[in-house]
Chain A
Amino acid sequence: MVLAVAILVMSVILVLIFIPKLKKQQDTKTIVVFTILLLIGTVLNMGIALRIHIPSPLDLITFIFTPIRDYIVSLTK
């Protein structure tokens, strides 16, 4: 719990440091991308800190490529 709050505080500090700088440069696209990435990263790390089970993204890739693998294995047998 403490860890999750610490991660949240850290992200807020990052936003406070970076967003005003980027605003001065009038770089809207960077601000949007920065915010989205930071949001995903913070949520992910808070989930890890709270020990919530998050499925691995590689499971999706394994799911996509398993038919191809089975096909190759059946060829070599």
Chain B
Amino acid sequence: MDKEIISSRQFTIITFLYSIGTAILIIPSSITAASKQDAWVAAGIGIVLSLLIIKLFLTLANQTPSLNFIEANEKILGRFFGKITAIGFLILTFLSAGELLYFIGIFMKTEVMPETPTMAFSLLFCIIIMYAAYLGIETFARSAEILFPLFVFIFIFFVICITPQITFENIQPVLEASKTSMFYSIARFMSIFSFPLVVLLMLYPASVNVQPSAQKGFYIGTILGGIVLIMLIVLSILVLGPENTASRTFPSYALAQRISIGNFLQRIEIIMAFMWISSIYIRTFMYFYTTVVGLAQILKIKDHRPLIIPMGILVIGLSQIVHPDIVHSNNYNNEIWPIFSFIFTILLPLLILIVTVIRNRKSNDNNTEATNTETTKESQKV
């Protein structure tokens, strides 16, 4: 299989759409529930902190410039221990892929077509994902490039149309949230917005053509994505009010339903739904692609393509059983997912980075073979 290369501009666009991903659907309600009208402050702090996380990811990626994240696991943590951590990481991406298919199904079912079973949406969406995974990341990056201008145009149109509905009393009083609720809402925001960015390390060092400008693109894409999310959160609070935002499942869709200009331009929310469907497509693809390619790399299979169809069938099945109802999904995403993702997306890269630094230092004065086993043992203690 030949190596696929994407340009740094495409990488920026993928980062932008990826970071918006699911966050656009579920973040406004979950963080407004915790910190009421100060949710946008929490989101702002979360975005600043995510820049630190990206710094960590980039430092890690630059240690192994020709390998992706799964290969780096095996190379640095050793064969046995690296495989275990990689499998843990793949379980995370696999479950997330199933969960995102569930989200797209439940979103279409509750808001657009109430009588169609969620299976139908999951199936159709998964066929697109499978096809994209079959064609590879070059094609996928080009499709992201096509979606990007449309996304930006619809977003600007959306913001302009909703502006007349703003009531500023909704956001007052400012800075009233307690420290605890602020901590929870920052944790929830970051766990969905910035922790999963580690999945992009599957693309970044190995298959990007100009690495320095891709580094810049990583930052720019995240900051732009963060700005979009902050604007959406602020608008939902300003237009719907904090209580109403918190009680909705998909506040940004409710926001789009409020658009009404001169009683003439209204009910255009389904055009707005393009924004979240396209960004969720990017995110689901990245999770699915990571799962398939990572599995092939762990098992040392040269071509990952034959695994796409069985894995797709598995993910469709998973999307039906992953959450029995929306309460289960809210509980999981608010309370368990931040901890679960923290372990595999922050602690694991940190561990790999520490082990790399120790190894580099030791290999300078000792022979490398003896230190290999030692560092793996040390890393288990960490």
Contacts and interface: CB of A to CB of B under 8 A. Distances in A.
Nearest to B311: A37
B274 interface: no
Interface string B293-332: 0010001111100110111011011101111100010011
Given A14-B309, A37-B314, A38-B313, A61 B300 contact: no
Contact of A56 (B307, B309, B328, B335): B328
A41 B310 contact: yes
A48 to B, nearest CB: 5
A29 B299 contact: yes
Q: Chain B contact residues: over half helix, strand or loop, or mixed?
A: helix
B219 interface: no
A43 B310 CA distance: 12
Contacts of B150: none
Interface residues of A, number: 33
B323 A72 contact: no
Contact of B335 (A42, A47, A57, A69): A69
B322 A65 contact: no
A65 B342 CA distance: 11
Contacts of B332: 58, 62
Contact of A41 (B306, B314, B322, B335): B314
A58 B95 contact: yes
Given A66-B336, A72-B339, A45 B95 contact: no
B64 to A, nearest CB: 25
A42 B313 contact: yes
Contacts of A44: 314, 317-318, 321
B320 A29 contact: no
A27 to B, nearest CB: 8
A63 B309 CA distance: 31
Contact of B336 (A14, A18, A40, A65): A65
B340 interface: yes
A48 B310 contact: no
Interface in B326-351: 328, 331-332, 335-336, 339-340
A58 B323 contact: yes
Interface string A1-45: 000000000010010001001100001011001100110111011
Interface of A: 11, 14, 18, 21-22, 27, 29-30, 33-34, 37-38, 40-42, 44-45, 47-48, 54-58, 61-62, 65-66, 68-69, 72, 76-77
6 contacts: A45-B316, A48-B317, A57-B318, A58-B328, A61-B336, A65-B336
